[in-house]
Amino acid sequence: MISSERVEYAMDGYVQYSPAERVVDATIHAVAIAAALVGFVALAWQMPWPPEGRIVAALAVYAVGLLAMLVSSAAYNAVRGGPAKAVLRRVDHAAIFVMIAGTYTPMMVLGLGGGMGFGMLGAVWAGALGGAVLTVALGPRFERFAIAAYLALGWCGFLLIGRLWDVLTTAAFALLLSGGVLYSVGVVAHTAHRMRFHNALWHAMVMAGAACHFVVVLLLVRAARG
């Protein structure tokens, strides 16, 4: 799996992956986008009737954040190089911040609620929007810090770990934690440039983490039905 000749760069500095790696990565993205669309239909089906405004708004924000991350990642990784890839790279990395905050939204609104939940949600969105702006404005100069920022933003909710334990079921709490671990361990694959299929593995772990968190959101919607 490891080779001293693994990393090859195009003239504009982007890693050039083998055809097999590109096919696997594209397949992962296609499956993830399709699964997300089906999942959003399932969430809508599970909503109480008549729909509550807070649930609709929370799920809409969640859906936009997750789809923004998936679609921008697919587009960025599909382009081989050139000016378009540079732009898509910034959009892709900014969308990660939006996805993190979007995932927090239904968990804070439907799970915690109250001043504690909305206070945390406001702090997360402030951090996410700041990170997204810096990513777009600074590009590669911000990328090393961005990885740390993703992890810090993703895990800051566990400052409320005691309260989350109280309001979530054991299964939901375990899935919430598992999703965070998958995202975090995936960063190792993301940075292992000399390992074949490292990019596809990174994206697979992101999708697995997103799937864990989707189930948490689904369980919260079901609980809201009473």
Does residue 104 contact residue 120 with C-beta atoms inside 8 Å? Answer: yes
Whether pLDDT at 160 is above 80: yes
What pLDDT is stored for residue 113 in this prediction? 86
- Please give the Cα distance from 46 to 213 (Å, whole number): 16
Does residue 164 contact residue 120 with C-beta atoms inside 8 Å? Answer: no
Amino acid at 188: V
Cα torsion angle, 116, 219, 132, 96, sign: positive
- Please give the Cα distance from 131 to 135 (Å, whole number): 6
The whole-number average pLDDT for the span 106-116 is: 92
pLDDT in tens, 175-192: 999 999 999 999 888 888
- Please give the Cα distance from 130 to 57 (Å, whole number): 22
Q: What's the token pair of residue 95?
A: 């969308």
What pLDDT is stored for residue 12 in this prediction? 52
Does residue 116 contact residue 157 with C-beta atoms inside 8 Å? Answer: no
